[in-house]
Amino acid sequence: MTRAAVLPRYRGIAAALAAHGLAARGGFALAAADRAPAVGAGRPARALILVGAAGPAPWTAFAASAEAADGAPDPLDRWSRRVIAAVAAACAPDGARVIGPGDGPPYPPFLAWARRAAAVHPSPLGLLIDPAVGLWHSYRGALALAAVPPDLPAPAATPPAPCASCADRPCLAACPVGAFSADGYAAETCRAFLADAAGQACRTAGCAARRACPVGADARYPPAQAAFHMAAFLGWGGDAAGRARPLRGKATAAQQGAPGPREGV
């Protein structure tokens, strides 16, 4: 007798992720035109759930993990993938595939997916802003599912974008080297400043432009987390205490694409 297929449940996946400090960040049913990776041979993906980190909670879980202490490259990416894979095995045993932001090239369109999955908006810094946690969130992966969860939430009614009513835009004035302009974000200007002694405050406390945003202030990253991401941006590596160290392997594309102010993926 064949076993009936077990449909994945969004709420179950969200609860399992939350037990590890991660968050389900919405999802959507896929169409063929989305060209999402299949979950297996001849098994197209039918739905996608975004997995993210919001606020400081995931950092506590990661800092206590084996990956944070093993000294090998890309500890946060490895931890994220391990946790998401374990949740997939437990909650979607009939077909799921873990997709990481650094899987590529070509790299998955995480930011476009994120905007379909939940009410997040572009900001002048290039990061997506969430009305609840501001700029203090990122995407750690996605789960492609072979079946659409019956409780998949409908895309949220979009609350107004916080930046639309932010007349002063303090984020744009806070960068000490004016890395944000009408031409976009000057990554090399930022990187050169960070590598210099003058960049210590950004390096250890996090991007001043990001910290200047008043939205989601309670969700700001602790200094160790901010320093970890800065070290990754600079290619210095880093440990869960925020100490920089030389990278022994190459940074993943997600880390390369996740500089201090744009650690949005």
User: With respect to ligand SF4, which residue has the nearer C-beta, 68 or 129?
Assistant: 129
226 binds ligand SF4 (CB under 6 A): no
How far is the C-alpha of 112 from the C-alpha of 31, rounded, in Å? Answer: 15
φ/ψ of residue 184, rounded to 5: 110, -155
Of 226, 211, 209, nearest to 171 (Cα)? 209
**Given candidates 65, 80, 123, 255, which one binds ligand SF4 under the rule CB under 6 A?**
123
Sign of CA dihedral 255, 259, 260, 264: negative
- Residue 34 structure tokens: 């989305």
Helix (H) or strand (E) holding 207: none
Does residue number 216 form part of the binding site for ligand SF4 (CB under 6 A)?
A: no
User: Is residue 193 within the footprint of ligand SF4 (CB under 6 A)?
Assistant: yes
Looking at 38, 119, 163, 219, which residue binds ligand SF4 (CB under 6 A)? 163
Q: Is 52 in the site for ligand SF4 (CB under 6 A)?
A: no
Token pair of 199 as six digits: 């960049």
Q: Is 119 in the site for ligand SF4 (CB under 6 A)?
A: no
- Is 215 one of the binding residues for ligand SF4 (CB under 6 A)? yes
CB of 247 to ligand SF4, least distance (A): 19
The yes or no reply on residue 98 touching ligand SF4 (CB under 6 A) is no
CA-nearest of 96, 92, 93, 118 to 11 is 92
Least distance to ligand SF4 from the beta carbon of 3, Å?
Answer: 49
| Residue 177 binds ligand SF4, judged by CB under 6 A | yes
Residues 6+ apart with CB under 8 A from 76: 62, 67, 68, 140, 228, 232
The identity of residue 213, as a single letter, is C
Nearest-approach distance from CB 124 to ligand SF4, in angstroms: 5
| C-alpha distance from residue 142 to each of 22, 99, 209 (Å) | 12, 5, 28
| Part in contact with ligand SF4 (CB under 6 A); list of ranges 4-12, 108-116, 141-149, 201-209 | 201-209
Residues that bind ligand SF4 (CB under 6 A): 123-125, 129, 162-163, 166, 169-171, 175-177, 179, 190, 193-194, 202, 207-209, 213, 215, 260-261
